[in-house]
Amino acid sequence: MEGLLKGKRAVIFGVANERSIAWAISEALHAEGAELAFTYAGEMLEKRVRPLAEGIGAKIVLPCDVTKDDEIEKVFQALKQEWGGLDILIHAIAFAAKEDLSRAFVLTSRRGFQLALDVSAYSLVALTRHAAALMEGRGGSVLTMTYLGSERVIPNYNVMGVAKAALEASVRYLAHDLGPAGIRVNAISAGPIKTLAAAGISGFKDMLHYAAERAPLRRNIDAEEVAKTALYLVSDLGSAVTGEVLHVDAGYNIMGM
Ligand code: NAD
């Protein structure tokens, strides 16, 4: 299967460090021959992201806070200039205020709600619109990351669950819009994995234990397993799959009791 993505160009949003799900996906895409471009959210993260990106030969490494339209535009202008086109967009971004991930959902403020939905859901729409312009005439694949908290109540996940529900609905609407252009849009609903973002959720350790005890496979999953599924969805292996939310969670989501 080596070289599944030979000649393909992918832009990755969401690497914070080597534990990021986006990084595991990047390594898998790189191993299959894709050329990668990276973005980072702010100077603090550049120190982490740049060496990782350059370590796998990436030449395009740019700042992008997805709440800033001008930064988004600059990234896609650079991709147009350097590459002329694009095949794959990886969106692995989410954010909510810490207080909104630790107390009752009913206390979510207007500001907290807007922030979580803007960064975690609207950003997919904005990035996909720009990516689709570069995929014109060649087709392409967009992949985002979601979690079961969109479908079920996961205590403390709160407004992020609402944001993920909006994200998953966005996947379906984007898939409908862009299908005629041969652009596929999918999401992976991953089981809990210890990352920087996960550390912000109160009681995350309990989520890990609970999931491992009850999932049919009786274990947690790792980022490399998400990356293998990502490879399937963004490559020709997934050529007829779009608008899909695929669970990679050791089967946890099927359980009722
Ligand atoms: P992570 O902290 O490594 O990645 C989250 C990324 O979001 C970071 O790179 C961060 O810089 C970026 N980000 C936050 N605000 C941003 C902004 N304003 N502009 C641009 N980027 C911004 O954690 P992760 O767990 O790898 O998260 C990646 C995705 O996977 C997220 O969407 C998350 O919700 C999802 N997910 C994670 C788990 C888990 O258990 N870790 C499970 C299911 C889904």
Please state the φ and ψ torsions of residue 252, each to the nearest 5 degrees: -50, -40
Atom of ligand 1 nearest to the CA of 193: 40
Confidence category of residue 213, pLDDT binned at 50, 70, 90:
very high
H or E, element range at 70 = helix 69-83
Would you say the pTM of this structure is higher than 0.75?
A: yes
Question: Which residue has a Cα nearest atom 28 of ligand 1?
Answer: 92
Q: Report d(CA 205, CA 220) in Å as an integer.
A: 11
Tell me the pLDDT tens digit for each residue of 132-169.
999 999 999 999 999 999 999 999 999 999 999 999 99
Q: Which atom of ligand 1 lies closest to the CA of 67?
A: 18
Rounded mean pLDDT, 72-78: 98
CATH of domain 9-250: 3.40.50.720
pLDDT at 200: 87
Instruction: Tell me the average pLDDT of the chain.
Output: 97
Cβ atoms within 10 Å of 239's Cβ, excluding its own: 11
Domain residue extents for the chain: 9-250
